[in-house]
């Protein structure tokens, strides 16, 4: 009989954890150990859309390797801009190519369909998630980014343009000027100048020495 309370408590804890991890919660959110989907909308039309204009499949990848094309950036999406028609339904496949957590968030959507105006996919590591959303007819440029600390600042930022958009957002890597440009200052001390001059001398004389040695060989 003494084991029954302990067994009951363990079963209650297990069931509670399972329910919390797998059931949809407030704000149209579902999550598990893999990641999270928030505010997916596969079928409800925005008020300004009489019907879906087109349905497209969009694959968006995130990770460090996608930042190699962007000077000074650490993380990035594989693309920095997408263009769609008004009232488009997008079936998004979000792929995380890293072993660290990344997000795909779209901001500025109508709040009556997307709580807090947000569509959100999140992966705790390498893997993929799929979810859909339907965009309004409004001509607009939406922010797409990862909201984890410093990820957007380090390059994981893009834009989604509906009907050509209403302009470029600031600080989109490779597309628009940064609000605050990163500056990498050099400490021009006497030691720095001496090392630089030494490198110049070595770089200039080493090829000459190699040529002379080759010519001196019989």
Pair (114, 147) in one structural domain? yes
pLDDT tens string 65-98: 999 999 989 999 999 999 999 999 999 999 999 9
pLDDT tens string 127-161: 999 999 999 999 999 999 999 999 999 999 999 99
85-89, 107-111, 117-121, 203-207, range with the lowest pLDDT = 203-207
Which pTM value belongs to this model?
A: 0.71
State the Cα–Cα distance between residues 36 and 126, nearest whole angstrom: 13
Say whether pLDDT at 111 is over 90. yes
State the Cα–Cα distance between residues 113 and 102, nearest whole angstrom: 24
Mean pLDDT for the chain overall = 87
What pLDDT score was predicted for residue 211? 83
Pair (77, 158) in one structural domain? yes
Q: How many domains does the chain have?
A: 2
Q: Is 179 within the bounds of a domain?
A: no
pLDDT tens string 41-60: 999 999 999 999 999 999 99
Say whether pLDDT at 184 is over 70. no
State the Cα–Cα distance between residues 157 and 191, nearest whole angstrom: 39
Pair (131, 202) in one structural domain? no
Pair (105, 199) in one structural domain? no
Q: Is 4 within the bounds of a domain?
A: no
Q: Which residues contact 215 (CB under 8 A, 6 or more apart)?
A: none
Pair (202, 144) in one structural domain? no
**Domain with 64 in it: what CATH number?**
2.60.40.420
Pair (96, 131) in one structural domain? yes
Q: Is 137 within the bounds of a domain?
A: yes
Say whether pLDDT at 6 is over 60. no
Pair (96, 32) in one structural domain? yes
What pLDDT score was predicted for residue 2? 53
Expressed in angstroms, the distance from the first to the final Cα of the chain is 98
170 C-beta neighbours (distance < 10 Å), count: 12
Structural domain of residue 198, as residue ranges?
185-218
What pLDDT score was predicted for residue 88? 98
Secondary structure of 92-153 in HEC code, one letter for each residue: EEEEECCCCCEEEEEECCCCCCCHHHEEEEEECCCEEEEEEEECCCCCEEEEEECCCCCCCC
What pLDDT score was predicted for residue 100? 96
Pair (189, 158) in one structural domain? no
Q: Is 151 within the bounds of a domain?
A: yes
162 C-beta neighbours (distance < 10 Å), count: 21
Q: Is 213 within the bounds of a domain?
A: yes
Pair (130, 204) in one structural domain? no
pLDDT tens string 152-177: 999 999 999 999 999 999 999 999 98
What pLDDT score was predicted for residue 25? 38
What pLDDT score was predicted for residue 191? 82
Task: Tell me the HSE value of 145 on the side-chain side, using a 13 A CA sphere.
Answer: 20
Pair (43, 114) in one structural domain? yes
Pair (117, 212) in one structural domain? no
Pair (44, 128) in one structural domain? yes
Q: Is 123 within the bounds of a domain?
A: yes
Q: CA 150, 156, 157 angle in degrees (round to 5)?
A: 110
| pLDDT grade for 207, boundaries at 50, 70 and 90 | confident
């Amino acid at each position: 009989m003494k084991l029954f309370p302990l067994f009951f408590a363990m079963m209650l804890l297990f069931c509670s954890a399972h329910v919390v991890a797998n059931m949809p919660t407030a704000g149209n959110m579902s999550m598990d150990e893999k990641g999270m989907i928030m505010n997916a909308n596969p079928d409800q039309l925005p008020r300004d859309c009489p019907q879906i204009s087109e349905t497209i499949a969009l694959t968006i990848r995130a990770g460090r390797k996608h930042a190699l094309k962007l000077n000074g950036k650490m993380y990035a999406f594989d693309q920095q801009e997408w263009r769609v028609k008004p009232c488009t339904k997008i079936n998004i496949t979000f792929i995380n190519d890293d072993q660290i957590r990344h997000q795909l968030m779209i901001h500025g959507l109508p709040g009556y369909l997307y709580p807090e105006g947000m569509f959100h996919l999140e992966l705790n590591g390498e893997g993929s998630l799929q979810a859909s959303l339907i965009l309004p007819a409004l001509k607009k440029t939406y922010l797409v980014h990862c909201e984890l600390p410093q990820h957007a600042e380090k390059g994981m930022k893009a834009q989604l343009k509906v009907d050509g958009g209403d302009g470029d957002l600031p600080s989109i890597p490779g597309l628009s000027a940064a609000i605050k440009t990163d500056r990498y200052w050099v400490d021009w001390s006497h030691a720095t100048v001496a090392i630089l001059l030494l490198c110049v001398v070595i770089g200039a004389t080493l090829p000459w020495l190699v040529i002379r040695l080759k010519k001196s060989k019989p």
